[in-house]
């Protein structure tokens, strides 16, 4: 049987002899060998060739074979020894396991014995501690009780799982009874020392009460709360008597005396009782916080009763003094007692001198400071950095309507003063060096807004801020209407249409009335002011949202006011455009009345072109210089003027009929001259030549090129008809029968000649897409600006005849 086991072991050994390279490397490091038979890459042929390199070496082959057999036999012996030794391992293991089991049993016994001894010791300590605790409680030895009680409670925790044992349960009940008795006894001691009723004066601090506070730290937290509550109530009882509602000092004008009283009380507490209570109770802060709660309730009650007596100055005075006091509290305390009524276990503050004795002002010092005005401007910290912000001043919020009404009145008076000043002083004087000046009144308005916003945010960040925002919106609109729009120069069209005086001037042959230099500067100044107001109103909205409570930010929206200022800007630009446009009208009228069929030669530009250029050179530099700070609005002026002047020029161009070939050439030269002037309009008369905006250049090139193409069609021979019509379609991208007929009129063709040409045009025009006819009919129904202008001129002629 032994040989069979050896054989099985050898077979298993051969099966696992195929080792991984990593394992083989590890074996070689542990058992280094130079024998070729131990190598993993052993090669039998190479090994034999090494033993017998030549034929002569084969002579000692028997000796070599014997050595190898001997080596094999030794290896077999070693393997057999190892295998036999392995068969005994199981038996040895069972013996070891039995020994280990015995050792474990001894360990368990030792552990149980140790636990029993420890428990007996704890039981002895608990029994003795309870007896001592009861005895010390009767003798009021609170200093010893504080240390002993904590130890007894720690020991009692070890017996929670043994409460089923009667003796242990009895000891636990005795500890609870001792705690209850201690609590009642300590409360009685404090009641005796600091009675809440009666005429007996409170006693001073004692070591007994100090030690009693240490015991209260260990007892139920309600004991500490009751001690704190009774002590603070007794400490503030005098305050409630001195500042009763019917007392003269209770009113807002003497609110300083409340805060002076509590400051003295805090100093008095630190001197007398500062060492009696544990520092982690933060009694000084708790007295101050309770004073604030009481004061807020008392002030709210008296203000409700005497609401009609509250004036804005008195209210602001009381709020200012209150916020000063809240700032004082923030400097002295951390605010750790504000969250709830329980005592927080925070780190005790480092020992220091009494903070209330450091720079503590006496009533005489405070009175002197008030006389010097040093207390008029409170250094109010930001609300997030002051945990006491609003702890008293919250009571003033229901009465802030007095402040809001006052600001409404003040802003109304401010707007009226702006209107009166403008009437008295007139428009700002033009200064070509500085450009269009922003009206100083708008800066004054927003400075006042900022002052009100900051002041109101210090009083409240709730509904009063929303009410103030409504007031701001009201007077922003009034400023836009009364100061800006109300002072824009009036034109004949904007003031109600035609007037008899304007018609008489036109009848007498005088030019259209233009704005004076002062009026142009005023319009630019109002435009610049409106832009400043627009940008500042947007900033005002952002600041208001920062100041107000997060839940109210959605209710702050000044978009209507910003749109109002945008309207003022648009109106100002339109006035500037209308003024220059109207100044050019007589020249265009003169162009249309010239006898273009009688022009015999092409000369320099016509007088009407010179007149248009003159008006442009007079107005544009003034407008550009006065809008230097608002370049984008000057660009808008240029674009709007081009969009107004070019269609009007083309309309008058169609009125030039009939036209000879030379006359058409002269008109083409004039049109090119106007085109060059318009392209240079943004920088005309400027020493600094600046490239015109691309958006403006595109409008001018497109519009004036169309005018040039119209004249080129007029200059082209109308025969053969097909060539003429095709040339018209090619040159004018927006070709239609109406424009074509106007061109034929300019050429002086008769109606009979035009009919065949119009029919040919209709045939050669591309077919319009579906729906185009409807849009064409719609455009015929809606009068164009040219048609509207023609209708007005007919009305003018009718009125002239009647005059």
521: pLDDT strictly greater than 60: yes
pLDDT at 115: 67
Average pLDDT of the chain, as a whole number: 78
DSSP state of 604: S
∠ CA 771-775-781, rounded to 5°: 145
Token digits for 101? 């089991």
Which residues in 311-338 are b (16+ Cβ under 10 Å) and which e? Answer: ebeebbbbbbbbbbbbbebbebbebebe
Token digits for 528? 């610049």
If one counts every other C-beta atom within 10 angstroms of the C-beta of residue 618, the result is 15
**1-139 architecture in CATH?**
Up-down Bundle (1.20)
**Count of alpha carbons within 13 angstroms of residue 648, beta-carbon side:** 23
268: pLDDT strictly greater than 80: yes
Token digits for 395? 């009571």
Specify whether the CB–CB gap between 724 and 757 falls below 8 A.
yes
| Cα–Cα distance measured from residue 177 to residue 149, given in angstroms and rounded to the nearest whole number | 12
Weakest mean pLDDT among 9-13, 419-423, 667-671: 9-13
| Cα–Cα distance measured from residue 624 to residue 92, given in angstroms and rounded to the nearest whole number | 112
| Cα–Cα distance measured from residue 592 to residue 650, given in angstroms and rounded to the nearest whole number | 10
| Cα–Cα distance measured from residue 657 to residue 592, given in angstroms and rounded to the nearest whole number | 8
Q: How confident is the model at residue 477 (pLDDT cuts 50, 70, 90)?
A: very high
| Cα–Cα distance measured from residue 257 to residue 238, given in angstroms and rounded to the nearest whole number | 14
pLDDT at 648: 94
Assign domain 560-714 to a CATH class: mainly alpha
pLDDT at 467: 93
| Residue 577 Cα to chain centre, angstroms | 40
| Cα–Cα distance measured from residue 724 to residue 717, given in angstroms and rounded to the nearest whole number | 7
pLDDT at 274: 80
4 versus 613: the higher-pLDDT residue is 613
Give the closest residue to 586 by CA, choosing from 510, 658, 675: 510
Weakest mean pLDDT among 119-128, 220-229, 369-378: 369-378
| Cα–Cα distance measured from residue 150 to residue 133, given in angstroms and rounded to the nearest whole number | 11
Highest mean pLDDT among 3-17, 43-57, 457-471, 712-726: 457-471
pLDDT digits (tens, 9 = 90+) for 677-734: 999 999 888 877 788 889 999 999 999 999 998 888 888 888 888 888 888 888 887 7
137: pLDDT strictly greater than 60: yes
- Cβ-based burial of 626 (10 A; exposed 0-12, middle 13-18, buried ≥19): buried
Q: What's the whole-model pTM score? A: 0.63
Peptide bond into 658 cis (omega under 30): yes
| Cα–Cα distance measured from residue 208 to residue 206, given in angstroms and rounded to the nearest whole number | 5
Residue 149 to residues 111, 227, 622: CA-CA distances in angstroms?
Answer: 29, 19, 94
| Cα–Cα distance measured from residue 90 to residue 71, given in angstroms and rounded to the nearest whole number | 31
The owner of tokens 């209260």 is: 216
pLDDT at 382: 41
255: pLDDT strictly greater than 50: yes
Specify whether the CB–CB gap between 199 and 134 falls below 8 A.
no
pLDDT at 360: 40
Specify whether the CB–CB gap between 454 and 389 falls below 8 A.
no
Domain ranges in the chain are: 1-139, 220-332, 395-489+516-556, 560-714, 716-764
Question: Which is it for the CA torsion 379, 384, 386, 390, positive or negative?
Answer: positive
Looking at residues 164-171, what average pLDDT do you find? Answer: 73
Give the closest residue to 540 by CA, choosing from 458, 630, 449: 449
Contacts of 27 (CB under 8 A, 6+ apart): 19
pLDDT digits (tens, 9 = 90+) for 392-413: 988 998 888 898 999 999 999 9
Contacts of 752 (CB under 8 A, 6+ apart): none
Specify whether the CB–CB gap between 174 and 134 falls below 8 A.
yes
| Torsion, CA 560, CA 565, CA 571, CA 575, rounded to 10 | 170
| Cα–Cα distance measured from residue 111 to residue 93, given in angstroms and rounded to the nearest whole number | 27
Q: How confident is the model at residue 538 (pLDDT cuts 50, 70, 90)?
A: very high
Specify whether the CB–CB gap between 341 and 226 falls below 8 A.
no
Fold match between domain 1-139 and domain 560-714: yes
- Cβ-based burial of 267 (10 A; exposed 0-12, middle 13-18, buried ≥19): middle
What are the backbone dihedrals phi and psi of residue 650, each rounded to the nearest 5 degrees, phi first?
Answer: -65, -35
Token digits for 158? 């070890």
736 versus 296: the higher-pLDDT residue is 296
Element (H, E) at 112: helix 89-138
pLDDT digits (tens, 9 = 90+) for 422-475: 888 877 665 555 556 889 999 999 999 999 999 888 888 889 999 999 999 999
| Residue 698 Cα to chain centre, angstroms | 40
Residue 69 to residues 62, 72, 752: CA-CA distances in angstroms?
Answer: 11, 5, 139
Instruction: Report H helices in 658-693.
Output: 661-679
| Cα–Cα distance measured from residue 313 to residue 710, given in angstroms and rounded to the nearest whole number | 75
- Cβ-based burial of 52 (10 A; exposed 0-12, middle 13-18, buried ≥19): middle
Specify whether the CB–CB gap between 508 and 610 falls below 8 A.
no
Token digits for 460? 């409240």
pLDDT at 120: 67
Looking at residues 233-254, what average pLDDT do you find? Answer: 89
316: pLDDT strictly greater than 70: yes
Specify whether the CB–CB gap between 652 and 594 falls below 8 A.
no
DSSP state of 57: G
Specify whether the CB–CB gap between 130 and 175 falls below 8 A.
yes
Looking at residues 334-349, what average pLDDT do you find? Answer: 56
| Cα–Cα distance measured from residue 19 to residue 12, given in angstroms and rounded to the nearest whole number | 13
745: pLDDT strictly greater than 60: yes
145 versus 600: the higher-pLDDT residue is 600
Specify whether the CB–CB gap between 635 and 693 falls below 8 A.
yes
5: pLDDT strictly greater than 70: no
| Cα–Cα distance measured from residue 700 to residue 688, given in angstroms and rounded to the nearest whole number | 21
pLDDT at 779: 36
pLDDT at 6: 54
SS3 call for 416: helix
| Torsion, CA 544, CA 547, CA 552, CA 553, rounded to 10 | 50
Which residues in 101-132 are b (16+ Cβ under 10 Å) and which e? Answer: eeeeeeeeeeeeeeeeeeeeebbeebeebbee
pLDDT digits (tens, 9 = 90+) for 592-607: 899 988 888 888 888 9
Looking at residues 244-255, what average pLDDT do you find? Answer: 89
pLDDT digits (tens, 9 = 90+) for 751-764: 877 888 888 888 87
If one counts every other C-beta atom within 10 angstroms of the C-beta of residue 228, the result is 22
DSSP state of 509: T
Q: How many helices (H) and strands (E) does the chain have?
A: 29, 0
**Count of alpha carbons within 13 angstroms of residue 787, beta-carbon side:** 6
Give the closest residue to 83 by CA, choosing from 195, 8, 30: 8
799: pLDDT strictly greater than 50: no
Q: How confident is the model at residue 88 (pLDDT cuts 50, 70, 90)?
A: low
348: pLDDT strictly greater than 60: no
The owner of tokens 């630190």 is: 270
Looking at residues 306-324, what average pLDDT do you find? Answer: 90
């Amino acid at each position: 049987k032994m040989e069979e086991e050896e054989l099985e072991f050898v077979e298993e050994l051969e099966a696992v002899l195929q080792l991984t390279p990593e394992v083989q490397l590890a074996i070689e490091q542990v058992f280094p060998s130079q024998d070729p038979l131990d190598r993993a890459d052993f090669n039998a042929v190479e090994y034999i060739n090494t033993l017998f390199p030549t034929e002569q070496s084969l002579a000692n082959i028997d000796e070599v074979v014997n050595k190898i057999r001997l080596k094999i036999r030794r290896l077999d012996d070693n393997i057999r020894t190892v295998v036999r030794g392995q068969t005994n391992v199981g038996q040895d293991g069972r013996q070891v396991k039995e020994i280990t089991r015995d050792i474990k049993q001894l360990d368990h016994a030792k552990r149980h014995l140790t636990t029993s001894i420890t428990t007996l010791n704890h039981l002895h300590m608990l029994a003795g501690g309870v007896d001592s605790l009861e005895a010390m409680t009767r003798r009021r030895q609170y200093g010893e009780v504080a240390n002993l009680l904590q130890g007894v409670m720690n020991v009692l925790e070890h017996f929670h799982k043994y409460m089923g044992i009667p003796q242990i349960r009895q000891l636990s009940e005795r500890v609870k009874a001792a705690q209850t008795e201690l609590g009642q006894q300590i409360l009685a001691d404090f009641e005796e020392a600091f009675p809440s009723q009666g005429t007996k004066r409170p006693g001073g601090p004692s070591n007994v009460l100090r030690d009693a506070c240490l015991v209260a730290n260990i007892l139920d937290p309600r004991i500490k709360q009751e001690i704190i509550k009774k002590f603070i109530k007794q400490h503030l009882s005098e305050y409630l008597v001195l500042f009763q509602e019917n007392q003269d000092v209770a009113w807002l004008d003497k609110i300083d005396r409340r805060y002076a009283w509590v400051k003295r009380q805090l100093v008095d507490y630190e001197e007398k009782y500062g060492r009696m209570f544990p520092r982690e109770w933060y009694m000084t802060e708790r007295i101050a916080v309770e004073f604030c709660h009481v004061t807020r309730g008392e002030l709210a009650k008296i203000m409700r009763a005497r609401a009609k007596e509250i004036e804005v100055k008195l209210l602001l005075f009381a709020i200012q003094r209150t916020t000063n006091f809240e700032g004082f509290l923030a400097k002295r305390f951390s605010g750790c007692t504000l969250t709830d009524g329980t005592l927080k276990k925070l780190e005790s503050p480092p020992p220091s001198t009494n903070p209330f004795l450091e720079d503590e002002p006496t009533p005489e010092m405070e009175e002197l400071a008030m006389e010097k005005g040093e207390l008029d401007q409170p250094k109010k910290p930001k609300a997030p950095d002051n945990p006491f912000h609003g702890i008293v001043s919250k009571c003033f919020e229901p009465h802030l309507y007095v402040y809001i009404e006052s600001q409404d009145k003040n802003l109304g008076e401010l707007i009226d003063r702006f209107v009166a000043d403008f009437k008295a002083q007139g428009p700002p004087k033009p200064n070509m060096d500085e450009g269009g000046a922003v009206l100083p009144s708008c800066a004054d308005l927003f400075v006042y807004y900022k002052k009100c916003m900051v002041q109101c945010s210090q009083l409240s960040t709730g509904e009063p801020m929303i009410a103030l925002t409504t007031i701001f919106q009201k007077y922003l609109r009034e400023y836009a209407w009364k100061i800006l729009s109300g002072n824009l120069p009036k034109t004949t069209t904007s003031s109600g249409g035609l007037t008899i005086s304007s018609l008489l001037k036109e009848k007498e042959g005088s030019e259209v009335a233009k704005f004076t230099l002062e009026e142009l500067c005023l319009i630019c100044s109002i435009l610049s002011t409106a832009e400043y107001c627009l940008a500042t109103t947007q900033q005002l909205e952002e600041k208001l949202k920062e100041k107000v409570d997060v839940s109210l930010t959605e209710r702050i929206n000044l978009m209507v006011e910003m749109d109002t200022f945008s309207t003022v800007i648009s109106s100002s630009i339109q006035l500037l455009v209308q003024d220059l446009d109207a100044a050019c009208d007589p020249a265009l009228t003169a162009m249309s009345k010239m006898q273009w069929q009688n022009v015999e030669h092409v000369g320099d530009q016509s007088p009407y072109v010179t007149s248009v250029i003159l008006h442009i050179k007079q107005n544009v530099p003034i407008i550009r210089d006065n809008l230097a700070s608002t370049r984008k609005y000057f660009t808008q002026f240029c674009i709007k003027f081009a969009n107004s002047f070019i269609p009007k020029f083309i309309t008058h161009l169609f009125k030039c009929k009939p036209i000879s070939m030379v006359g058409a050439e002269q008109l083409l030269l004039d049109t090119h001259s106007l085109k060059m002037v318009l392209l240079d309009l943004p920088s005309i008369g400027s020493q600094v030549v600046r490239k015109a905006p691309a958006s403006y250049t595109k409008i001018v090139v497109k519009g004036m090129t169309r005018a040039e193409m119209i004249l080129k069609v007029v200059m082209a021979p109308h025969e053969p008809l097909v060539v003429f019509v095709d040339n018209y379609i090619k040159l004018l991208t927006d070709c239609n029968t109406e424009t074509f007929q106007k061109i034929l009129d300019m050429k002086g063709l008769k109606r009979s000649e035009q009919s065949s040409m119009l029919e040919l045009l209709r045939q050669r025009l591309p077919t319009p897409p579906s729906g185009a006819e409807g849009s064409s009919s719609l455009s015929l129904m809606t009068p164009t600006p040219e048609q509207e202008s023609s209708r007005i001129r007919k009305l003018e002629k009718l009125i002239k005849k009647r005059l």
